[in-house]
């Protein structure tokens, strides 16, 4: 029987899942793609922190695995929350694609005045950047956001560069350097989650990239120690053991930042604890302001 691979139904999610299935096919594993709706896809008009935060794209797929409806699920790793149901394993983390954000715009950068994004991190970093812009709420899949840009509702929108690459999109605009626009933890990585059945986990684990796994596990350790949930503007990026982590105020006028070696989960936890301590006021301010 083919391996039933669950995914969200968006074009990007389907493309990511097709990549995983092709990798499995070359290893002699037959697959069947099973699209599953999620709360995050259904409620695009509501900010993420008001509909359940980071896990809104994941829970339905988790439930389907635990119910035996699918064998595994493909996720953008950054969508997977820190707290996970028992009985689930992250069997494979694929080699990381670009971690960077990309500002899509057709007019000159200096003429960009209204930018669309739903991310508090992206909002804060844009407001910090020196660009004279207003940042307005924008949710939806990549096609929806591009349509609203083309309709003139925004002068620019922010997309993950990895998503553009996976959809083979060559869009005009400006790449936002990860060293300054520090990405969301695990941005640019694809994860495959399953139950603990060895007949399923064994073929999936062959897709794992150890270097990427180490970096994203460090990032997740920092994220878990910072806390604050999806409402806190925070960026965490580890590349081959070098770590940049920051927490910003919602308006981008204040931030705390650490750059250090992050070669292990333990080092990540220590850095996350330190950043939580020095950025506590920013975390609490975001929580109170957004009512999270």
Average pLDDT over residues 79-107: 94
Indicate whether 31 belongs to any domain.
no
Q: What is the pTM of this model?
A: 0.89
Pairing of strands 31-35, 242-248: unpaired
Tens-digit pLDDT profile for residues 197-231: 999 999 999 999 999 999 999 999 999 999 977 78
pLDDT at residue 19 tops 90: yes
What is the count of structural domains for the chain?
1
Rounded Cα distance, 25 and 31, in Å = 7
E-assigned strand segments in the chain: 3-7, 31-35, 72-76, 89-93, 101-104, 114-116, 134-136, 156-160, 173-176, 190-194, 234-239, 242-248, 255-261
Clarify whether 97 is annotated catalytic. Answer: no
The range of the structural domain enclosing residue 164 comes to: 101-176
Would you give the distance in Å from CA 134 to the centre of its chain?
Answer: 23
Q: Three-state SS across 220-234?
A: HHHHHHHCCHHHCCE
Q: Could you tell me if residue 115 is inside a domain?
A: yes
Would 274 be classed as within a structural domain?
A: no
Residue 280 lies in a domain: no
**Banded pLDDT at 94 (limits 50, 70, 90):** very high
Residue 51's pLDDT is 45
Tell me the per-residue pLDDT of 266-291, one tens digit each, with 9 for 90 and over: 999 999 999 999 999 999 999 999 87
* Residue 226: inside a domain: no
The dihedral through the CA atoms of 177, 180, 186, 187 has a sign that is: negative
Of 88, 126, 95, 291, nearest to 211 (Cα)? 95
Separation of alpha carbons 280 and 37, rounded Å: 36
> Which of the residues 41, 62, 71, 79 is marked catalytic?
79
pLDDT > 70? residue 125: yes
Task: Judge whether 257 lies within some domain.
Answer: no
Is the residue at 125 inside a domain? yes
Q: pLDDT of 40-58, one tens digit each?
A: 444 444 444 444 445 677 9
Query: Looking at residue 244, what is its pLDDT?
Result: 98
Mean pLDDT of the residues in the chain: 92
pLDDT digit string, tens, across residues 153-188: 999 999 999 999 999 999 999 999 999 999 999 999
CATH of the domain at 158: 3.40.190.10
For residue 228, the model assigns a pLDDT of 76
- Can you tell me the mean pLDDT for 235-263? 96
| Residue 180: predicted pLDDT | 94
Domain for residue 146, yes or no?
Answer: yes
Q: Measure the CA–CA gap between 247 and 10, rounded to whole angstroms.
A: 30
Give the pLDDT band of residue 92 (cuts 50, 70, 90).
Answer: very high
Neighbours of 21 (CB within 10 A): 20
pLDDT at 38: 64
> What is the phi/psi pair of residue 62, to 5°?
-55, -50
Predicted confidence at residue 231, as pLDDT, reads 85
pLDDT of residue 120 exceeding 50, the answer is yes
């Amino acid at each position: 029987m083919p391996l039933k691979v669950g995914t969200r139904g968006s074009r990007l999610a389907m493309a990511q899942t097709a990549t995983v299935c092709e990798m499995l096919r070359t290893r002699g594993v037959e697959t069947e793609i099973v699209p599953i709706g999620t709360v995050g896809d259904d409620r695009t008009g509501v900010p993420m922190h008001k509909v359940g935060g980071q896990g809104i794209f994941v829970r339905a797929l988790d439930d389907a695995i635990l119910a035996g409806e699918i064998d595994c699920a493909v996720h953008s790793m950054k969508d997977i929350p820190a707290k996970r149901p028992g009985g689930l394993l992250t069997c494979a983390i694929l080699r990381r694609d670009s971690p960077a954000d990309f500002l899509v715009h057709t007019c000159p950068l200096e003429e960009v005045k209204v930018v669309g994004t739903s991310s508090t991190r992206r909002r804060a970093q844009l407001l910090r950047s020196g660009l004279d812009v207003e940042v307005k709420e924008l949710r939806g899949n990549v096609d929806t956001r591009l349509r609203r840009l083309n309709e003139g509702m925004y002068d620019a929108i922010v997309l993950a560069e990895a998503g553009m690459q996976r959809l083979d999109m060559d869009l005009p605009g400006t790449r936002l350097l990860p060293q300054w626009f520090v990405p969301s933890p695990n941005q640019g990585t694809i994860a495959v989650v399953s139950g603990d059945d060895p007949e399923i986990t064994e073929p999936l684990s062959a897709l794992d990239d150890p270097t990427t796994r180490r970096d994203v596990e460090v990032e997740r350790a920092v994220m878990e120690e910072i806390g604050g949930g999806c409402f806190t503007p925070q960026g965490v990026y580890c590349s081959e053991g070098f770590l940049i982590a920051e927490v910003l105020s919602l308006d981008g006028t204040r931030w705390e930042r650490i750059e250090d070696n992050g070669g292990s989960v333990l080092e990540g936890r220590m850095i996350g604890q330190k950043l939580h301590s020095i950025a506590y006021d920013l975390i609490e301010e975001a929580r109170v302001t957004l009512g999270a």
